[in-house]
Structure 1
């Protein structure tokens, strides 16, 4: 009965031997690997944020170029008392809120259907002037481009003012557009900026955006800018100072730092020879670690023995990645203590019951 009770004693998870029993060599489905210098180098794969060349090489949008969807304002002066467009006694007429249609054209009375998309306001002014001059002497035309929905981007997420913003001369770059939206509304250290352009997307840390001009990409019409808090994290379990999910932030975290972030090893429970980092490795990384080709994603349980002469150095060099589980087993004597406690506790309970019976 005592042995059965001992087997059912509470604990924080599997012990070291039980994890090793799940190794591929023993019929399990996990690669259980002791960490060494080769493993730290081969597994040091950290997906980095950044923009591809297609984003970085895109030229800036011409702030004055008229596009379908833009709204224009025209003012026309005529050199006669009773002009084509001006009323009697007036020298000019204003045509406001003229939207460029989906084909890129606008309609101007007496000038007809005029192609506006692709032109600058000055080029469009010349075109309208030439068409009107056939019917009225020496017309004078001004064209004002009001940014419409032809050259806009959407800014959403953790910014002060979400919305649809026009790409104008001061806001043609990513950082300028974020400033136009009032800046980010979360801690800049954990803010990630994603730009979605058609079927492509790229993301960058906000701090890296401001640190490198290469990340301050030119915006294109239709871009979607999303600002969000980074969600990368690892989970800490077992004989640690705390058992929780821990954000990675924008720093590179090693195993020593990961353990320290949750209060270190529990000195009353932890087995320093049984520190495990569990993750799913992509095919390319798994092949480098094992030194042989494998097919598909592989389950790995990396073992860190902190009692070895270089154990702490290896743990310092082993990088923690998004989705990792850091698990520390209990020391073997802990279960013995629990077993003895259960036995002595049972004996004490029996003596108490006997005393009550007497």
Structure 2
């Protein structure tokens, strides 16, 4: 009888093991650390794996937001005092004699006000007796000299004043989350970015919720509003025809895997570091987490990634690359890296399971699968004893 029970139990246990090993996949919240590392070595890998050291974290902190001062330059490149097509120009002419072309007649020397006129598509205006005067791309002082030269010999010591009544060509478009969207004329001395935003009534919400985008020709760059406020170097001069847009851009990150909570969270901090992000979800799960398997999934510009992995190539039309950054918290220095690694908008943070956690899962699954069979074997043995 005992040999029958042992045989039955052994057969049942073996059947359970075969069932688990051949038909069941262990449940998991994502790939293992080994799977990610081995996948990065494949010939056609869909991502680049980067081990994060302190030097890497420091480099990424400098690369995350491209300064406007580098993208566009901080100098005042174009004088907004130049007249452009569409501007409305006023001309006043004085003469020294009472019997001149523009004098006041018997009342003595006077002034003649030429009605304001828009600059034509050819960049010109018309002044009586002086004819057609080219004004586009020139300053009022330069146009003044041209008109006086054209009137020489016809008017008596003419003195000319040229004034731009409506500065329609030297404007910047401001739109988005500002109090008053519209066209803002530029001052002759130039306007900085913060000046333009203030002239538009300022932002309609807190700065940490906004990004500032500047479009100049075919180039467009965006930085967080807080960076513009805190870094004077980013307060660059705007240029005519720039488009300044304040964009509501709440930032978020997602955490999956062996953390105390899996969640997608918004953050308001201008600079959120990885240790702060993990604290927001309660940190790592001590029973499951692989301290060597902290992974951050992100898309980065290929130029940035090549500084870390020279063979990296663009994977998308916009020139970006899939990157997985790995941090090892078994190394005591890894916690300093956590404090230096900046979380970017839409980052996905994944904490892999430890191998011990996988063993626990396997043991639990074996126990769950084999227990009914073993109980059945014990019941069959009892029936066999009763029958004898």
State the TM-score, normalized to the length of structure 1: 0.71
Counterpart check, 1:328 vs 2:348: no
- Tell me the residue number matched to 2:329: 306
For structure 2, the 5+ residue unaligned runs are 1-15, 315-320, 377-388
1:214 counterpart (222, 233, 236)? 233
1:169 is displaced (CA, Å) by: 3.8
Matches within 5 A, 1:4-23: 7=24, 11-20=28-37, 22-23=39-40
- Tell me the residue number matched to 1:105: 124
Counterpart check, 1:56 vs 2:74: yes
Matches within 5 A, 1:107-146: 107-125=126-144, 127-128=146-147, 131=150, 135=154, 142-146=161-165
1:160 is displaced (CA, Å) by: 1.9
Deviates more, 1:136-145 or 1:219-228: 136-145
SS at match of 1:24: coil
Q: How many residues align?
A: 343
Residues 327 and 110 (structure 1), Cα distance of their counterparts in 2 relative to 1, 3 Å cut = same
SS at match of 2:39: coil
- How large is the RMSD of aligned CA atoms in angstroms? 4.6
- Tell me the residue number matched to 2:91: 74
Deviates more, 1:241-250 or 1:39-48: 39-48
- Tell me the residue number matched to 1:154: 173
- Tell me the residue number matched to 2:381: none
State the TM-score, normalized to the length of structure 2: 0.67
1:226 counterpart (235, 245, 270)? 245
- Preserved CA contact (<8 Å) 1:6 1:342: no
Counterpart check, 1:243 vs 2:260: no
Residues 294 and 120 (structure 1), Cα distance of their counterparts in 2 relative to 1, 3 Å cut = closer
1:153 is displaced (CA, Å) by: 1.6
Counterpart check, 1:316 vs 2:339: yes
Deviates more, 1:41-50 or 1:238-247: 41-50
- Measured against aligned partners, the alpha-carbon deviations of 1:47-105 in whole angstroms (never above 9, x if no partner) come to 33212286223346253x32332101234578769977999x9x876443401123321
